[in-house]
Amino acid sequence: MTTEEMISKLDSIQGEAVAALAQTERVEDAIQVKNRFLGKKGQMQDVMKLLRDLPNDGKRAVGQASNAAKNAIESAYLERVEALEAAEVERQLREETVDVTLPGRVFTKSNGNPLTLMEAELIDLFQELGFEVADGPEIESDFYNFEALNFPDDHPARDMQDTIMLENGHLLRTHTSPVQVRTMLAYELPIQVISPGRVYRHDFDPTHSPVFHQIEGLHVDKHITMRDLVGALKAFVDKCFGVGTKMRLRPSYFPFTEPSAEVDIGCIFCGGDGCKVCSHTGWLEILGSGMVDPNVLRGAGIDPEVYSGYAFGLGVERIAMLKYEIPDIRLLFDNDIRFLRQF
């Protein structure tokens, strides 16, 4: 190609490109057209490959012409994109209306997991009764979980079946009772605490989860007797299940309390007549309790001749399942929004 032929070729490329850009209806199309002419494999590039065959003054002339063509296509492109974008805004303003009088969309959310609600409710309740909240670790030593609680070495609760042992020799606490020992060692007397938290056992069925929640209660002072225990528990039962709910203590055994008692309430489903939930006994077991064993007090540096105390431990899942009539413990952990919304 001669210099003149190349200049006229550039001229026609420019004309074609500007015309094609003017035809585009969308920004994406304008980008494509621009690339077809100015891109690395575009028509402009094809022509410029022939540049090296020209004499020097021809090169200069074609170079200038190609710059002018490039600039013209570039600005035609920018102009077109601007026009298309403005048209799009116009169209949106014209066609896409928002009815500001429509009611807003309501977001439904649950109030929280019933377990969390139950725990918070119980903490409130015991705080009203004068208990302070104490905390303890979930990873425990054998000492706090068993030994200091007067568990004999061969006690079945130490069995690997129930206790989840860790490789470092520690364990996941099987109950909140180790916090009894921790608070007795750390706090000034008198002590009146509850300790809510997670506990772990090797156990899984419709009423047992390997991770569950307990609230421990401990009251140590001079002259604490079984009457204080019964009074506190009766106040708790009245507040939690309604004034007048029947309550009874059944003799039981825990290594760290003496005497020990399991506490039942009159079945809240059948009123004591007997039904499936209470296995036709008319009673529902809700917690374990007792007077702190003198060995436990002594081990924590407290003189059992001067001080005495009671302790209790309740399962939060069990209370929640009874109160909210939840048939399967796994519902509490599934996080199914259809279930959670009901609370």
Residues that bind ligand PHE (CB under 6 A): 175, 177, 254, 257, 288-290, 311-313
- For the bound state, the minimum distance from the C-beta of residue 294 to ligand PHE, rounded and expressed in Å, comes to 14
Instruction: Write out the chain in H/E/C secondary structure.
Output: CCHHHHHHHHHHHHHHHHHHHHHCCCHHHHHHHHHHHHCCCCHHHHHHHHHHHCCHHHHHHHHHHHHHHHHHHHHHHHHHHHHHHHHHHHHHHHHCCCCCCCCCCCCCCCCCCHHHHHHHHHHHHHHHCCCEECCCCCEECHHHHCHHHCCCCCCHHHCCCCCCECCCCCEECCCCCHHHHHHHHHCCCCEEEEEEEEEECCCCECCECCEEEEEEEEEEECCCCHHHHHHHHHHHHHHHHCCCCCEEEEEEEECCEEEEEEEEEECCCCCCCCCCCCCCCCEEEEEEEEEECHHHHHHCCCCCCCCEEEEEEEEHHHHHHHHHCCCCCCHHHHCCHHHHCCC
Tell me which residue has its CB nearest to ligand PHE. 313
State the nearest-atom distance from the C-beta of 166 to ligand PHE, in Å. Answer: 19
Q: How far apart are CA 237 and CA 299, in angstroms?
A: 31
The C-alpha torsion from 154 through 159 and 163 to 169, rounded to 10°, is 70
Closer of 197 and 288 to ligand PHE (Cβ): 288
In the complex with ligand PHE, the residue whose CB is nearer, 72 or 247, is 247
**Cβ closer to ligand PHE: 14 or 260?**
260
Q: Is the peptide bond before 259 cis (omega within 30 degrees of 0)?
A: yes
For ligand PHE, which is the closer residue by CB, 146 or 283?
Answer: 146
CB closer to ligand PHE out of 66 and 177: 177
Which residue lies nearer to ligand PHE by CB, 131 or 312? 312
Whose Cβ is closer to ligand PHE: residue 163's or residue 177's?
177
> Least distance from C-beta 197 to ligand PHE, angstroms?
12
Shortest gap between Cβ of 266 and ligand PHE (angstroms)?
A: 21
CB of 199 to ligand PHE, least distance (A): 7
Query: Least separation, in Å, of the C-beta of 175 and ligand PHE?
Result: 3
- Shortest distance, position 282 Cβ to ligand PHE, whole Å: 23
Instruction: Output 196 or 313, the one with its CB closest to ligand PHE.
Output: 313
Shortest spacing between CB 262 and ligand PHE, in angstroms:
8
